[in-house]
Structure 1
Amino acid sequence: MQNALNGFMNGLSGADRTALERVALTVVALEGTDERAWAGHRQNEVHFSGSLVKLLAMYAAHTLRFFSRQLLLEQQPSSSDAFFLALSSDFDHQITTATPSTITAQHGSDATKIVPAYRTVLDPQLDATGRPIDVEFTFDYRTQLRGMLLQQQNPGAAASIHGVAFGFMNAKAGDDGFFRKPTQQGIWLAGDYLGQWTPVRIASTNDGQVAQATTAVDMARLVTRMFDGSLESGSPTDLVQMLLGGGRSWFHRELLWPNGGLSATHAKIGIGPLKPNSAGVVEKVVSEALKVHDNNRNLDFVVVWQNLKVPADPTRAELERVSRMVEATISGFQPTA
């Protein structure tokens, strides 16, 4: 795949080269093997990526629910109040300790920005005696998650992020290897898309200091593990369901896919404004995380791309360049069997 991607990039010229040279891309083959084939272009660069990074809030919420279910089994609290007390007693110190120092420097005196709002996020399911026997999301919180992911709504994103807090989200990203504190590279989400909480920023290649950023390769790692079920969040069912609807893909919206070859079965799109350039012009960057099905060969891939710069919402012609980049890379994959 890497050879195919390199060959495609080397063959570009003119406007195609200008547009695609700065696009970051990672493609991972989901063939059943521990040594997954992958290819990338600018995949280790940290880019401001708009709403694509909301995937970290989704993962953090499901991980918190998974941890709370484990606590329920181990401690068997006698009531809802005892359950929430146990959560705070067991988790708060660990989360605070693991939170990146940039966040604690900004918000360390305000625990609401560091540790989750447990009662907002979690709804213990009680038996007839009032003893918790399971944990689900509260109705309101699940509604906000769906608003963030399915309706692409920033109010839903802000509520979802406030529920799991900057500290827990980014501590978990670091624990799982999706963010490296020494180099400040990986998936970073420390802004709520509405400016209700003071953002905490890291350096990016495309937009200076930003609060919502990722590398293509780290987002691809997260999404790949969502689909292979190896994340520390229990069953991947809910995570996968939140991304259903490949028709939301930029490529499907502009009728570039499906075209008999590739189709997106799951998608999370991103778009957001960059800071004004030296001429005062505000460009947007477009991004996407996909599960892609190769209909001709019955193969699946994770695709993450970002940093497509456009003056407004992306046009069919602008997206068609990226689709060709993705298609060329996938076509280079050779199954092991």
Structure 2
Amino acid sequence: MTADPFTILRVEDMLLLPVSVINLERDGSRLVRENADEPAVLLFGLPPQHVGESDVRDAFPPTVPAVSAGTSRLALLLPDGEDGIDLASEALLAWELLQNTSVPVSIPPDDGEISVFSGLPRTAIEFPAPLLLGTEGGQRMVLRARPGVQGRARTAVARGVEFPSPPPTTRGSCPFRAVGRTAGRPGGSWSSRRRSRPPTIPRIRSRGRRAASCTWTRWMWNHRTTTARTLARTGLTVGHMTGRTARTARTTARMTVPTAGRTVPTTEEAAMGLFPEIKDDLLERDAGLDKAFHAAKETPSGQALGSEPVVVVALNQQEPHFFTGQLELEVHYSASLLKATAMWAAHELLRAANELVDSFDARPPPADVITMLRDTFNPLIDAQRVAQLRGVDMGNTLLPRWDDVFDVRADSFVEFTPAFSDKLSDAIANGSNTSAGTVIHGLGFGYLTKAAASAGFFDDSATGSPETADGMWLCGDFANGFTPRRIPCVNDTGPVAQATSARQMARLFTFLGGRSLAGAQNTPLVDGDSDEAMLALLRQAVLNRHSMLDQDTTVNFDMVFSKVGQGPLNTGAVVCSEAAIIDERSTGRRFVAVFQNRVGTTSAQLKPVSQLVDTTLVNFLFP
């Protein structure tokens, strides 16, 4: 007999999912196939994730007409050859080992159904209209029914609401564009097409943390979500449909405008805003850039390099960005280069604080804000430590020092204190270790490390193999009083507190570099204002001559933004690192260049790296 529906509760992050199954029966601690010749399906339910509301043009009314999304469903198949699956949350949530289902574009659904085909339920995401992902005839999203009509209203607020037909085109910041009506289906439908993707499982890339909006006549759909981390492992990213980590989503649109009272965000809502959402991987290895790099490696300068990780990224007006390099997954001690991580984390914490303030229907009074941040976020930071900090007595090094980091404005939003801003500027633009220590003390090791892990810059389960760990770790304060926490690295004889892979640092700088392109609409690292502030600090570092690749005056590129690292290994050798955004002079093409583990600090010792980068650019642009 097919097993009854059940619920998964993952206590670690309070992920709660209803699960039902098809062709699976319970056998002790496992779910096993009933019929070996039939598909075995696990159906995971996700709560409503989006709200569509009226586009208010004139005076703001007390109530805004709105429609909520319905629940979404992920239909995942047990792979052929597998007789069952353990009845445990770890196994059931290992979605990378299951197979996603998508709708067939060429056949109609079963009678009375919208997402069941030949008796097999398929993955169906509410947008808030039913959004079905199809792979036949190229990658495209197929919207099979109009919302709020034909008795399909989702909630009470939707009943009686008349929705307009879709427009012939949607442009601007909307992540897809309409390409034509599809005849032959009741109510009409329209499809949307993205850039081509590998013909396996369709991907819908998120646009980071920006809220995208498409106006349909007098209606606007607002959504503010990003790639679901767990789903990404299956190859299906549903950034505009499910919240991060496939948890309960928060909605940015409000159903009504209250006239009195104050709604307090839940702990779960606060937790989802505290740590950054996983960042898209904007890097795509490019054959032409690879060829240019390997040709540069054959020159005398290239042959002078050995164990130095190097990454070169060619920035594009539209994502993804092309990259090449060597040893890019290795984690190396990189000293002050990791101050860029602290700079980024500080702006993520600023974002999180202001999002929490803004999540109240009536903002708390300024005098209560710091206490609210401390009381809300501190328990979450403590409870969600990375593996390296769990069970460790961190003393006063774990949590942010909220009063030192933030001032509260009259409108209850927060900003960096002048003292914190000065220290942050001094740490980045002047390379001050003392100021960097103050910044890190303000953020706390708990937030720094978990933010990197949450954003996808660090994997706390991979550090045992530093040759492939591909992570970014900052858990030291540059000898300013905090006891450091260390991980293994490739280039030193013992564990270190400031380490990164070239690839992850290149990812961070690629977000900033992509946003720095004139006219580009690339994904922000944090948000527009924060990215501009970070770029200004990195620019000031160049003006203050805190850069390395441009010490070679024979290169044909200009240094635009930079952060360097220089420090001693346990062996006594001094190694240099740098992450830079550079412009090739003759074309103006912008690139990101990252290198690590170059022994020596003189211009002559750094020259082989700058020559390798310069030759790669020339080979790529002028093949």
TM range (shorter): 0.7 to 0.9
Identify the range of structure 1 (232-241 vs 44-53) with the bigger mean alpha-carbon deviation.
Answer: 232-241
Q: Which residue of 1 aligns with 2:456?
A: 177
Say whether 1:8 aligns with 2:296: yes
Change (3 A) 1:181 1:233: farther
Q: Note the C-alpha offset of 1:332.
A: 3.4
Partner deviation per Cα, 1:58-115 (whole Å, 9 max, x = no partner): 011111111111122222444334112221233223322332121233334x2x3222
Give 1:208-227 correspondences, 5 Å limit.
208-227=494-513
SS of equivalent to 2:379: helix
Change (3 A) 1:260 1:190: closer
- Measured in 2, the distance between the counterparts of 1:150 and 1:230 equals 21
- Measured in 1, the distance between the counterparts of 2:575 and 2:446 equals 26
Q: Which residue of 1 aligns with 2:548?
A: 250
- For 2:512, give the aligned amino acid: M
**How many residues of Structure 1 are paired with residues of Structure 2 in the alignment?**
314
Say whether 1:124 aligns with 2:408: yes
Identify the range of structure 1 (54-63 vs 67-76) with the bigger mean alpha-carbon deviation.
Answer: 67-76
Q: Which protein shows a greater Rg?
A: 2
Q: Note the C-alpha offset of 1:2.
A: 1.3
Q: Note the C-alpha offset of 1:334.
A: 4.9
SS of equivalent to 2:485: coil
- Measured in 1, the distance between the counterparts of 2:588 and 2:298 equals 28
Q: Which residue of 1 aligns with 2:191?
A: none
Q: Which residue of 1 aligns with 2:347?
A: 62
Q: Percent identity?
A: 30
SS of equivalent to 1:297: coil
Change (3 A) 1:233 1:158: farther
SS of equivalent to 2:431: coil
Conservation of the 8 A alpha-carbon contact between 2:579 and 2:595? yes
Partner deviation per Cα, 1:205-240 (whole Å, 9 max, x = no partner): 001310000000000001111233522355311111
SS of equivalent to 1:330: helix
Q: Which residue of 2 aligns with 1:296?
A: 586
Conservation of the 8 A alpha-carbon contact between 1:260 and 1:295? no
Q: Which residue of 2 aligns with 1:318?
A: 605
- Measured in 2, the distance between the counterparts of 1:333 and 1:11 equals 15
SS of equivalent to 1:217: helix
- Measured in 2, the distance between the counterparts of 1:41 and 1:78 equals 51
Conservation of the 8 A alpha-carbon contact between 1:187 and 1:218? yes
- For 1:320, give the aligned amino acid: K
Conservation of the 8 A alpha-carbon contact between 1:63 and 1:234? no
Higher helix proportion: 1
Identify the range of structure 1 (57-66 vs 234-243) with the bigger mean alpha-carbon deviation.
Answer: 234-243
Identify the range of structure 1 (234-243 vs 51-60) with the bigger mean alpha-carbon deviation.
Answer: 234-243
- For 1:35, give the aligned amino acid: P
Q: Which residue of 2 aligns with 1:265?
A: 560
- Measured in 2, the distance between the counterparts of 1:260 and 1:296 equals 12
Say whether 1:156 aligns with 2:435: yes
- For 1:331, give the aligned amino acid: V
SS of equivalent to 2:388: helix
- For 1:115, give the aligned amino acid: L
Conservation of the 8 A alpha-carbon contact between 1:44 and 1:217? yes
Q: 2:533 aligns with which of 219, 230, 238?
A: 238
Q: Which residue of 2 aligns with 1:129?
A: none
Unpaired runs of at least 5, structure 2 = 1-288, 464-468, 516-522
Over the residues paired in the alignment, what is the CA RMSD in angstroms? 2.0
Conservation of the 8 A alpha-carbon contact between 1:99 and 1:114? no
- For 1:172, give the aligned amino acid: A
Q: 1:114 aligns with which of 398, 404, 411?
A: 398
Unpaired runs of at least 5, structure 1 = 127-131, 277-281
Q: Note the C-alpha offset of 1:315.
A: 1.5
Q: Note the C-alpha offset of 1:11.
A: 4.1
- Measured in 1, the distance between the counterparts of 2:556 and 2:297 equals 21
Partner deviation per Cα, 1:227-257 (whole Å, 9 max, x = no partner): 33522355311111110143422133x3x24
Identify the range of structure 1 (215-224 vs 133-142) with the bigger mean alpha-carbon deviation.
Answer: 133-142
- Measured in 1, the distance between the counterparts of 2:570 and 2:489 equals 12
Change (3 A) 1:11 1:262: closer
